[in-house]
Structure 1
Amino acid sequence: MSAPELPADLRSSLEAKLQGLARDEIAARAALISKTYRDGGNSRVIATQTDALAYALVRMPATYAAVTASLGAFGELKPDFAPDSLLDVGAGPGTASWAAAETFSSLERFTLLDINAALQTLALELGRNHPRLAAMTCRRDIHALDEAEPADLVIASYLIGEVGKPERRTFAERLWAKTRDTLLVVEPGTPAGYARVIELRAQLIADGAHV
């Protein structure tokens, strides 16, 4: 089965933002950002709108495919799930929100949290013409998660690895506290990523969550 492609309107928005930019510069920034993440770095390397666009072009397709596949698998287990609200934690350019919007037509309220200003600006711009994502709410202050309203669906994609191991237990509890129905955690398909998901899953089950 082929991986799902980015929605046509999202691809068009990304292409429009590339107009007038030097492709070599975008490629160089994308290579540096990718290397930073492979070396264990985080989104601090993304400081400008050019950086944010380079990041989106490189990482959005695979992240979108992974989140869409995860939501599809969940939908098979719970076909009647029709969430109204989404809390996208560590949203970046909004990839998981796009995947959720495409998967669940019932979603009307989107709250995106990310500490990176450049990525948050890009998320708002990419969603501007979407019939539902245009009304998304974005926050990037350190208290955003604790102050956010609970949501039917909470997604943390490619985020747990950026949280220090001593803080992960508390962070998982904070995510679960904001979940009315479903918490989806997506991590890279590596041994380390798998281990993080299994550890978080076991913790939440011990705390009373259920699969």
Structure 2
Amino acid sequence: MSTVHLPGDLRAALTEQLHATAPGHASAQVQRLIESYRGTTPTAAPVLRDAADVTAYAAYRMPATYAAVRSALAAFRARAGDWTPGTHLDLGGGTGAATWAVGDAWPEGAHRSTVLDWSQAALTLGRALARRAAGPAVRDAEWTRAPLGAAPALPAADLVTVSYVLGELTPGGRTSLVEAAAGAARGAVLIAEPGTPDGYARIIEARERLIAAGLTVLAPCPHDRQCPVTGGDWCHFAARVQRTSLHRQVKGGSLPYEDEKFSYVAAARPEAVTEAAPEVLLEAAAAPATSRVVRHPQIRKGLVLLDLCTRDDGLTRTTVAKRHGPAYRAARDADWGDAW
């Protein structure tokens, strides 16, 4: 499991915002939001009722959402070669976790981000947090109120992110948003959802629509064929994010970290990522991995057991022994979610 460190400027901005709101009051709001977040019905608009709710939401969810999106972006970047977005559209971005993650993934700051959300309170807080960002891509982001449940007319962008949004929409709204995101994306789309069976089901549905729209899956899947995960299983990954003392206080937790489980799909237009790196063969730099580790590796004496999703054979388990030399050393270093 990868450990994701919250950027110092984001950590400072959240801490300052929480100090401005009595942490005890935020804790009470967080408890209500936890109950709503764990529910199974679309609730986003009524849950975030006011500025206090949004501040509590940022304390409760923003670090974990950032960690999930940042981990997914790292997997995508590893398969996309030298491709770099010039523009970024964050759909349902709220307080901006995905926008901060994209800013960290491409720290050169050459891209321009636009956040669309239906909650004005979330956008207001997101803009306030972004003003404290060190990088211009986050600091200069545009924050625009827009409904997302019906098929919206979206501005075109090189990269479109949709993080932890689909579960807040009706089935028809999800279909409209994913199709609109695919239509707006000149280069790539990344969609992330909670790492639950329901979240995975939404990702699989979105994956099918992205493929139908002409995009190629680059991560986490090693192919565009039907997902081999069936039955009661579901594909998900995890990211560990460090908590601040104030974050622990607001959430009522004692551990110095939390583990966020998430499902995701990242897909790109082949012509876009190929044109970005013409000197590199598509097979080498802009294609999905041959296989991906889909469970925690099991390390035994002289052996490593890897559960893989593979391009040719679906779900398999491979055993890497010490006698395999470099492959064994690589397997010992492999982590859940890594390409193999």
Task: Name the TM-score class by shorter chain.
Answer: over 0.9
User: SS of 1:80's equivalent?
Assistant: coil
Any idea what SS the aligned residue of 1:139 has? strand
Task: Judge which range, 68-77 or 99-108, deviates more.
Answer: 99-108
Cα distance in 1 between the residues matched to 2:156 and 2:103: 18
Letter in 1 for 2:129: L
Question: Which residue of the partner structure matches residue 120 of structure 2?
Answer: 117
Q: Which structure shows the higher strand fraction?
A: 2
2:187 aligned counterpart, secondary structure:
strand
- Give the fraction of aligned pairs with identical amino acids, expressed as a percent: 38
**1:204 Cα deviation after fit:** 2.3
Residues 116-155 of structure 1 aligned to structure 2 (within 5 Å): 116-130=119-133, 131-132=135-136, 133-142=138-147, 146-155=152-161
Change (3 A) 1:5 1:44: farther
The letter for the 1-side match of 2:50 is T
Unaligned runs of 5+ in 2: 218-340
Normalising by structure 2, we get a TM-score of: 0.59
For 1:183, the equivalent position in structure 2 comes to 189
Q: 1:79 to 1:207 in 2, by over 3 A?
A: closer
Equivalence map 1:47-66=2 (5 Å): 47-66=49-68
Using the TM superposition, give the Cα deviation of residue 43 of structure 1 relative to its aligned residue in structure 2, in angstroms.
4.1
1:145 CA drift (Å):
7.9
The range that moved more, 93-102 or 106-115, is 106-115
1:102-143 Cα offsets, whole Å, 9 max, x none, are: 001244311000001111001000001323122111111338
Partner Cα separation in structure 2 for residue 156 and residue 191 of structure 1:
18
Amino acid at match of 1:53: T
Contact 2:117 2:147 in 1 (8 A): no
Aligned to 2:296: none
Q: Secondary structure at the match of 1:185?
A: strand
* More displaced 10-residue stretch of structure 1: 11-20 or 48-57: 11-20
2:117 maps to a residue whose letter is D
Pairing 1:1-211 to 2, within 5 Å after superposition = 1-39=1-39, 40=41, 41-106=43-108, 107-130=110-133, 131-132=135-136, 133-142=138-147, 146-211=152-217
Tell me the SS of whatever aligns to 2:191. strand
Deviation at 1:93, TM superposition (A): 0.5
Structure-1 separation of matches of 2:100 and 2:202: 24
Q: Give 1:147 shift.
A: 4.4
* Distance of 1:20 and 1:62 partners within structure 2: 21
Give the alignment's Cα RMSD to 1 decimal: 1.9
Q: Over alpha carbons, which structure has the higher Rg?
A: 2
Q: Structure 1: which 5+ residue stretches go unaligned?
A: none
Q: 1:168 to 1:2 in 2, by over 3 A?
A: closer
Q: Residue type matched to 1:140 in 2? A: R
| Distance in 2 (alpha carbons) for counterparts of 1:203 and 1:22 | 44
Matches of 1:60 and 1:81, distance apart in 2: 27
Deviation at 1:160, TM superposition (A): 1.1
Q: What SS is found at the alignment partner of 2:17?
A: helix
The structure richer in helix per residue is 1
Per-residue deviation, 1:205:
1.3
Pick closer, same or farther for the CA change 1:80–1:123 going to 2, 3 Å: same
- Give how far 1:169 is off: 2.3
1:206: Cα distance to partner? 2.4
The runs of at least 4 aligned residues of structure 1 exceeding 3 Å deviation read 143-148
Q: Distance in 1 between matches of 2:91 and 2:38?
A: 21
Name the amino acid aligned to 2:55.
Answer: L
